[in-house]
A = this chain, B = another copy of it.
């Protein structure tokens, strides 16, 4: 009865976006569901021609699907490369053998290279349910991964996708572990490194939970969705690029694990090391500098945790044949002025163009990181990197290189400007004593970043700065009045976002903050 083609269900595309999780829809009166004994939320193997995936079954009422049809969510439809009307075969999936290795890890055993490779390759093939991925991540948390397991996990993640190879002997890269709004040093560092003759084929991600990823920012200045061939051409011509990494399928396991880790709020050291290094190794890097901002509302909250992470990054990198160095930086407050794709791009341009209004803190971080990178790659003498980087920036060589990279990527453009603004004013005199990075990022996201490229905020104050009542603290930018209002409401509800010490330097009681502080709109709804 399984070989009779005409009784197989007909595939129907269901325009349902469930991210990476493939969903199969069957009617409650479906003959195949009954005869195969599938229940709601069963795992079902869906096959067509020589392609197969495992999907989660959702049972639907008869009004949602014609008789004899099986619905497939967007990701399932694409993974199977289906066309409307094709017949599909449904069956019980073979047991996933590597789940027993996942359970070994849950029960505290060390996994060997083959076992970790099997787990990662089954995860990438879509054979794990999200709950099973969650169990693997949990079992690896709390320092339960040995150094050797981290090495094997990183290697397995590299092997899970494509791997780029470059002709030069040294391929440099930089990465920031994240958590700091506005810390957009990459375009400047790439420009300086490439101007100095280094090869830096930088692939970046879009924002996952932040108001902007490097790819989102760069996209306001030039195309970033480059095919591998175009990426090679840009790098061959200019020595560097700032492209979106998604097209290259580098360490796809990482994207899947990150999605589940975010839901759990667990970002364990071993997973973080494997995540960062697998992307870098897959991108073909040999010398990698990692920026670890440390602060109470940054991702890494103590110097001690940063030092431990640095040690693991260097150790695992060395075991896999790449040189990794770490720069621990100040993560107590946002960097630059802009937060959001276009606003951060403006800061980047101001630094590259040596404009007098360029944010000094962003410029300084770019020079420190670029200097370290020049030294790491032996392009500068030890101790001379910072000075060399500054010369390249001040001379306009970095700016020219950046323009050339933009042109090679498809043409430079000006970042868009948001039509709606709102000035948040200080409701008192005082000295800025603390800034919550996460709340600041939330305001920018509620204003529409990163989907709306022009949305976000200009953050105008710094720790220790004295402000007078009525002076602007930030300017919120949005593409629509509704989004502006949403961001403003959130900002109003969170006066603890920016705290002020009084004359004596002590913090005001947040309960005492007037929730109806004056919020004067200026330049509203104008371009």
A-side residues, CB < 8 A to B, are 1, 14-19, 21, 25, 28, 34-37, 40-41, 58-64, 99, 103, 106-108, 129-135, 137-139, 141-142, 260, 263-266, 445-446, 448, 451, 482-483, 485-486
Contact of B132 with A485 in the complex, beta carbons under 8 Å: no
Contact of A266 with B37 in the complex, beta carbons under 8 Å: no
Q: Which residue of B lies closest to A452 (CB)?
A: B34
Most buried by B among A60, A103, A106: A106
Contact of B266 with A60 in the complex, beta carbons under 8 Å: no
Contact of B1 with A485 in the complex, beta carbons under 8 Å: yes
Contact of A445 with B37 in the complex, beta carbons under 8 Å: yes
Contact of B138 with A17 in the complex, beta carbons under 8 Å: no
Q: Give how many copies assemble into the complex.
A: 2
Q: Across the interface, which residues of B come within 8 angstroms of A28, CB to CB?
A: 17
Contact of A1 with B482 in the complex, beta carbons under 8 Å: yes
Q: Bound complex: CA of A280 vs CA of B284, how far in Å? A: 59
Q: Across the interface, which residues of B come within 8 angstroms of A61, CB to CB?
A: 14-16
A–B Cβ pairs within 8 angstroms, 24 of them: A1-B482, A1-B485, A14-B64, A15-B60, A15-B61, A16-B25, A16-B58, A16-B61, A17-B40, A17-B59, A18-B41, A34-B451, A37-B448, A103-B264, A103-B266, A106-B142, A107-B142, A131-B131, A131-B134, A131-B263, A132-B263, A132-B264, A134-B138, A135-B135
Q: Across the interface, which residues of B come within 8 angstroms of A130, CB to CB?
A: 130-131, 134
Q: Across the interface, which residues of B come within 8 angstroms of A137, CB to CB?
A: 135
Q: Across the interface, which residues of B come within 8 angstroms of A485, CB to CB?
A: 1
Q: Across the interface, which residues of B come within 8 angstroms of A446, CB to CB?
A: 37
Tell me whether A135 and B138 are in contact in the complex, defined as CB-CB below 8 angstroms, given that A18-B58, A61-B15, A266-B106 are known contacts. Answer: yes
Contact of A265 with B134 in the complex, beta carbons under 8 Å: no
Return A7 CB to nearest CB of chain B, in Å.
10
Q: Bound complex: CA of A440 vs CA of B482, how far in Å? A: 62
Q: Across the interface, which residues of B come within 8 angstroms of A59, CB to CB?
A: 16-17
Q: Bound complex: CA of A19 vs CA of B265, how far in Å? A: 25
Q: Which residue of B lies closest to A41 (CB)?
A: B19
Contact of A108 with B15 in the complex, beta carbons under 8 Å: no
Return A269 CB to nearest CB of chain B, in Å.
11
The 4 closest A-B pairs by CB, nearest first: A15-B61, A131-B134, A134-B134, A138-B138
Tell me whether A131 and B60 are in contact in the complex, defined as CB-CB below 8 angstroms, given that A41-B19, A106-B142, A142-B108 are known contacts. Answer: no
Return A8 CB to nearest CB of chain B, in Å.
14
Most buried by B among A37, A64, A99, A260: A37
Q: Bound complex: CA of A213 vs CA of B483, how far in Å? A: 54
Q: Across the interface, which residues of B come within 8 angstroms of A141, CB to CB?
A: 106-107
Contact of B138 with A106 in the complex, beta carbons under 8 Å: yes
Q: Across the interface, which residues of B come within 8 angstroms of A63, CB to CB?
A: 15
Q: Across the interface, which residues of B come within 8 angstroms of A264, CB to CB?
A: 103, 106, 131-132, 135
Q: Which residue of B lies closest to A481 (CB)?
A: B1
Contact of B35 with A18 in the complex, beta carbons under 8 Å: no
**From B34, B131, B265, contact of A133 by CB (8 A):** B131
Q: Bound complex: CA of A435 vs CA of B40, how far in Å? A: 30
Q: Across the interface, which residues of B come within 8 angstroms of A451, CB to CB?
A: 34
Q: Bound complex: CA of A485 vs CA of B137, how far in Å? A: 41
Contact of B58 with A17 in the complex, beta carbons under 8 Å: yes
Contact of A129 with B37 in the complex, beta carbons under 8 Å: no
Return A490 CB to nearest CB of chain B, in Å.
10
Q: Bound complex: CA of A25 vs CA of B131, how far in Å? A: 22
Q: Which residue of B lies closest to A144 (CB)?
A: B108
Q: Which residue of B lies closest to A209 (CB)?
A: B39
Q: Which residue of B lies closest to A61 (CB)?
A: B15
Since A1-B485, A16-B58, A134-B138 are in contact, a sample of 15 more A-B pairs with Cβ atoms closer than 8 Å, ordered by chain A residue number, is A1-B482, A15-B64, A16-B25, A16-B60, A35-B483, A37-B448, A103-B265, A107-B141, A108-B142, A131-B131, A131-B264, A132-B264, A134-B134, A135-B138, A138-B138
Most buried by B among A64, A265, A451: A265
Q: Bound complex: CA of A16 vs CA of B486, how far in Å? A: 32
Contact of B15 with A486 in the complex, beta carbons under 8 Å: no
Q: Which residue of B lies closest to A262 (CB)?
A: B131
Q: Across the interface, which residues of B come within 8 angstroms of A1, CB to CB?
A: 482, 485-486
Return A480 CB to nearest CB of chain B, in Å.
8
Q: Bound complex: CA of A103 vs CA of B138, how far in Å? A: 9
Q: Bound complex: CA of A485 vs CA of B4, how far in Å? A: 14
Q: Across the interface, which residues of B come within 8 angstroms of A107, CB to CB?
A: 141-142
Contact of A486 with B35 in the complex, beta carbons under 8 Å: yes
Q: Bound complex: CA of A494 vs CA of B438, how far in Å? A: 57
Return A78 CB to nearest CB of chain B, in Å.
14
Q: Bound complex: CA of A34 vs CA of B58, how far in Å? A: 26
**From B35, B108, B265, contact of A99 by CB (8 A):** B265
Q: Across the interface, which residues of B come within 8 angstroms of A37, CB to CB?
A: 445-446, 448, 486
Contact of B135 with A16 in the complex, beta carbons under 8 Å: no
Q: Which residue of B lies closest to A56 (CB)?
A: B18
Q: Which residue of B lies closest to A130 (CB)?
A: B131
